[in-house]
Structure 1
Amino acid sequence: MTLLWIKTLHIFFMVAWMAGIFYLPRLFVYHASTTNIAVKEQFKIMEKRLWFFVTPFAFLTLIFGIWLIYLYGMAWFVASTWLHIKLILVLIIYIYHFYLFKLLKQFADDKNVHSARFYRFLNEAPVLILLVIISLAVVKYV
Structure 2
Amino acid sequence: MDFLISLYPWIKALHIMSVIAWMAALFYLPRLYVYHAESVGLEGETHALFQTMEYKLLKVIMNPAMIATWLFGLALAAIPGVIDWGAVWPWTKLIGILAMSGFHGWLSKQRKAFAAGGPVKTGRQYRMMNEVPTLLMVLIVLSVVLKF
TM-score (norm 2): 0.88
Name the structure 1 match of 2:126: 119
- Larger helix proportion of the pair: 1
Residue in structure 1 matching 2:56, options 49, 52, 76 = 49
The Cα shift of 1:72 comes to: 2.8
Partner amino acid, structure 2, of 1:56? P
The Cα shift of 1:31 comes to: 0.5
- The answer as to whether partners of 1:7 and 1:64 remain within 8 angstroms in 2 is yes
Correspondence list, 1:1-142, <5 A: 1-33=6-38, 34-35=40-41, 37-53=44-60, 54-73=62-81, 76-141=83-148
- The answer as to whether partners of 2:23 and 2:133 remain within 8 angstroms in 1 is no
**Secondary structure of the equivalent of 1:29?**
helix
For structure 2, the 5+ residue unaligned runs are 1-5
Larger deviation: 78-87 or 16-25? 78-87
Offset from partner CA, 1:39-85 (integer Å, 9 cap, x none): 111100000000002201101100111111111359x4422320111
Partner amino acid, structure 2, of 1:131? V
- The answer as to whether partners of 2:110 and 2:120 remain within 8 angstroms in 1 is no
The size of the alignment, in residue pairs, is: 140
Sequence identity, in percent?
37
Aligned-residue Cα RMSD (Å) equals: 1.6
TM-score (norm 1): 0.92
Distance 1:21 1:139 in 2: 24
